[in-house]
Each structure stands twice: as structure tokens, then as C-alpha cells.
Amino acid sequence: MDNRHEIRQFLGSRRAAISPERAGLPAYGGNRRVPGLRREEVALLAGVSIDYYIRLERGNLGGVSETVLEALARALQLDEAERAHLFDLARAAGTPARPRRPRQQRIRPSVQFTLDAITGAPAFVRNGRLDVVGANRLGRALYSEMYLDPVRPVNHARFIFLNPHAVDFYPDWNRAASDTVAILRTESGRDPYDRALSDLVGELSTRSEEFRTRWASHNVRLHYTGLKHFHHPVVGDVHLMFEAMDLSADPGLSLLVYSAEPGSPSEDALRLLGSWAATIDQAEKHGAAASRKEA
């Protein structure tokens, strides 16, 4: 991905999102030719010259000091995710462009053992591209619709935008779709030379207008805790809390664990989901054993 283009689009979109009134500046009448702030207004708020800010918005963030980046973040009223994204873009701007070949990312056996030890909650490990590289039984059962796709590794973004079942699976599909794109956009700032990520974005942009529209907004998001709502084809509506934790020994991988409120219908749904998953696993084992006997 073109880092300079990303910087231009991101800074321009954040500038356009802030009105002079919101920034504490006079509006100077209603004849403004651009939405949001002008470049000179951002420069004034950040305490830099207009020429210097124009240079920054053209994509020249390489070597910019943290002090200037912090001033830009304040001037543009960036939230935590947007501020982190700005710093990621600046960091990447100072790194030579070295596209990396896609590589198969596998989890270590001890990580899979940890997943399997979590028996009362769906849990899985994913990378920044939203590939699921490991899951426990309940995690696979919760996302059973996603696992029907023969493409491996399974991918949340591909499921949401290319699988028609996703609209039923996510009751608030629009929010799930927007959050997914914002997470991918955040990852693109951290690692703009990840060829597998570029390929995924290219595929989704080609095949999904919904994805293209959201990708163009340049929204970013941190994804560490929150609520998820699902409509599972077997157990119905499930409302779950989630916590995401980076795996320090495996850079780029995160462990996500979903939990239900004790005593809630969602906790009952998880128990039912676990029983269903156990039944499916047992049936598959019997089928495999029967095939070996016939062979």
C-alpha cells in the first residue's frame, strides 16, 4: 500500500471532519469551499507554518518529531485509535518499502493447548488481517458458518463481506462491517508492506461495494474489549462480552475470549452450543472410524 497516499487521505479526511466551531475558531461566514478546517487553520492550531503542514498532508511524515505529531493529533482532535494510526503512518514513512511475501502463520502447540483448556467460552487466535489461525471447540462452533468456507485460513472480513449468511449472523451487520474495515485500516497503518493484507484488501475492494465505501472513509479502531451480538443458526441470539490480548511471544497475534453474563440466556445458549459441538465432533469421529474400516 502507498504510505504517502494513506497519509494524504487520512489527514485530509480528519481535517474535513472538524468544523471551525468545534475547533474553537470563527467560521468566517458560510462561503467555505471545503468541509471542515482549512489547511491554514490546522497549521495555526498545531503551531506550525502553513507550508510545513502542506508538506505533511502531502504524505511527508518521515522524520517528523513526536512533538509535531502530538500537536497534529490535538489540532485534529484525534481519538486514541486515530492518534496511534498517525504515529504508525509516520513510523512506516521512515521505513524503506519492502513488500513481504505472504506467509502461513501458525500458532505454537502450547497456544493451541491453552485454547483447548478454555472449555466454557469461545476463544480463538487471530492476526491483524483477521485470519483465524486457531480456535477452541466453542470458538469453531460459534463461527460454524464461517468455517464452511473452504478457503483457509478462515477470515472474518471475507466472511462478513462475501458470505450472504453473515447478514443473518450479525444482527447489526452495518456496525460489524464498519468495525471490521476500521480494524483492517488500523493494521494497514502498522504494516503497509504486508502483501497478504494488500491482497485481501484488493480482493474485498473488487468484490464488495460495501467494503469499498467503508475503506474510503479511512476510519480506524482499536479492538480490545466490548460487546458482540450474534444470531447463531442453531442456538439463536447470543450476546457476549469479549476481551482481546496480544500474545507477547507471537507478535501480530491476539487471543480473543468471549464470555456470557452469568445466569443470562446467552450463558444457556453457550452451554447448548457446547453440547451441539460435542455431538458434531463425535459424529465426525465415528464417520472417520467407519471410513478407515471400509478402507
> Which domain CATH number covers 31?
1.10.260.40
- If one compares 174 and 252, the residue with the highest pLDDT of the two is 174
> What value, to the nearest 5°, has the Cα angle with vertex 89 and ends 216 and 15?
55
**Residue among 55, 52, 60 at smallest CA distance from 94:** 60
At 34, the pLDDT band (50, 70, 90 cuts) reads confident
Residues 195 and 87 in one domain: no
Whether residue 2 has pLDDT greater than 80: no
Structural domain for 33, as ranges:
3-93
Q: What angle do CA 52, 10, 57 make, to 5 degrees?
A: 15
> Is the model's pLDDT at 292 over the cut of 60?
no
Q: Indicate whether 287 pLDDT > 80.
A: no
Q: Is residue 6 within 8 Å of 61, Cβ to Cβ?
A: no
Are 114 and 163 in a shared domain? yes
73 pLDDT higher than 60 = yes
Q: Quick one: pLDDT at residue 35?
A: 77
Number of domains in the chain: 2
* Predicted local distance difference test score (pLDDT) of residue 289: 47
From the CA atom positions of the chain, what is the Rg in Å?
Answer: 23
Q: Is residue 164 scored above 50 in pLDDT? A: yes
The pLDDT tens digits for 91-148 are 998 776 665 555 557 899 999 999 999 999 999 999 999 999 999 999 999 999 999 9
Lowest mean pLDDT among 96-110, 160-174, 257-271: 96-110
Q: Examine the domain organization and report whether 249 and 142 are in the same domain.
A: yes
- How far is the C-alpha of 219 from the C-alpha of 185, rounded, in Å? 7
Half-sphere exposure in the Cβ direction for 244 (13 Å, CA): 17
pLDDT value at 284 more than 90? no
Q: Are strands 236-246 and 225-232 parallel, antiparallel or unpaired?
A: antiparallel
Residue 159 belongs to domain with CATH number? 3.30.450.180
Q: 22-31, 34-43, 151-160: lowest mean pLDDT where?
A: 22-31
Mean pLDDT of 207-231: 96
Residues 208-231 have a mean pLDDT of 96
Q: Which of 47, 64, 93 is the last residue of a domain?
A: 93
Residue 12 grid coordinates? 485530509
Q: Does 82 share its domain with 121? A: no
Secondary structure percentages of the chain, helix, strand, coil, to 5? 55, 15, 35
Q: Which of residues 93, 121, 138 is at a domain's end?
A: 93
Asked whether residue 29 carries a pLDDT value surpassing 80, the answer given is no
Q: Which residue reads 503512518 in cell numbers?
A: 89
| Selection from 6, 4, 64 nearest residue 188 by Cα | 6
For residues 151 and 196, the answer to whether their CB atoms sit within 8 Å is no
Is pLDDT above 60 for 44?
yes
The CA distances from residue 170 to 116, 160, 289, in Å, are 25, 9, 36
What pLDDT is recorded for position 255? 97
Q: How confident is the model at residue 13 (pLDDT cuts 50, 70, 90)?
A: very high
Residues 55 and 185 in one domain: no
| C-beta of residue 219 within 8 angstroms of C-beta of residue 185 | yes
User: What pTM does this model have?
Assistant: 0.89
**What pLDDT is recorded for position 3?**
86
CA 129-131-132 angle, to 5 degrees, is 145
- DSSP 8-class letter at 251: T
Q: What is the C-alpha to C-alpha distance for residues 189 and 127, in angstroms, rounded to an integer?
A: 15
Q: For residue 292, give the amino acid letter.
A: R
Say if residue 114 is in the same domain as residue 243.
Answer: yes
H-state helical runs in 118-262: 137-142, 144-147, 156-162, 166-169, 173-190, 195-207, 209-215
Residues present in the chain in total: 295
Residue 280's pLDDT is what?
80
- Same domain flag for 125 and 88: no
Domain membership flag for residue 267: yes
pLDDT score at 72 = 97
